[in-house]
Amino acid sequence: MTTDQETSMSVTETGATIWLTGLPSAGKTTIAYELAGRLRGEGHRVEVLDGDEIREFLSAGLGFSREDRHTNVQRIGFVAELLAANGVKVLVPVIAPYADSRDAVRKRHQAEGTAYLEVHVATPVEVCSVRDVKGLYAKQAAGEISGLTGVDDPYEAPESPDLRIESHRQTVQESAAELYALLSERGAA
């Protein structure tokens, strides 16, 4: 092995899981992709584990019972920790409505010594229902679906997140910049 190969192999990037939790249509995914673009532009290895994509591919067959939601969050948490432990910045825009499920993911990261940040995208349900990106609030109001998080199914907001973003009070770019500042402060950007 040459010296150049040794040098390039010894350079490692610090990975981290950045978990964005909030109601449907809160802005989690939009903020995650905005931040991902900035981080990639700086040369970071970045993955976005979008909750909808995970449901389609990794958690297909799971429903929306409390148990199934917990299983979904644990699967995502496992993949996120694995990637983060290998130097990837992992942005996870997932509702994850239950505090105990999110706490289990945080504990897994802590046990493995992997950086984990919880970000609450704290957008009021009234704003989310107007945004209604996927039409879920309209379907729930029309009686076509039930179990909508934050409406007729619980959402347990984080009590002490690493960051709380009020996406309805600022632009996507400002929200992503606020999150980037936290990553920089914590040595993860």
To the question of whether residue 29 is assigned a binding role by annotation, the answer is: yes
Any idea what the CATH number is for the domain that residue 147 is in? 3.40.50.300
Rounded Cα distance, 120 and 131, in Å:
18
pLDDT at 188: 85
Looking at the chain, the number of H-run helices and the number of E-run strands are 8, 5
pLDDT along the chain (189 residues), means of 10: 40 85 96 98 96 87 90 96 97 96 97 96 95 90 89 93 96 97 91
Rounded Cα distance, 139 and 184, in Å:
40
Query: Based on the structure, what is the number of domains in the chain?
Result: 1
To the question of whether residue 22 is assigned a binding role by annotation, the answer is: yes
Residue 7 in any domain: the answer is no
Domain region containing 173? 16-186
**Residue that has been written with the tokens 């995208």 in this structure:** 121
Residue 54 in any domain: the answer is yes
pLDDT at 179: 97
Please tell me whether residue 117 adopts helix, strand or coil conformation. strand
Residue 10 in any domain: the answer is no
Rounded Cα distance, 56 and 129, in Å:
23
To the question of whether residue 8 is assigned a binding role by annotation, the answer is: no
pLDDT at 8: 39
Best CA proximity match to 154, nearest among 69, 71, 50:
69
Beta-bridge partners for 47: 90
pTM of the model: 0.90
Rounded Cα distance, 125 and 61, in Å:
27
To the question of whether residue 148 is assigned a binding role by annotation, the answer is: no
**Residue 69 DSSP symbol:** H
pLDDT at 1: 41
Rounded Cα distance, 169 and 175, in Å:
9
pLDDT at 115: 96
To the question of whether residue 147 is assigned a binding role by annotation, the answer is: no
Residue 1 in any domain: the answer is no
To the question of whether residue 28 is assigned a binding role by annotation, the answer is: yes
pLDDT at 12: 57
To the question of whether residue 24 is assigned a binding role by annotation, the answer is: yes
pLDDT at 14: 87
To the question of whether residue 135 is assigned a binding role by annotation, the answer is: no
Rounded Cα distance, 109 and 77, in Å:
8
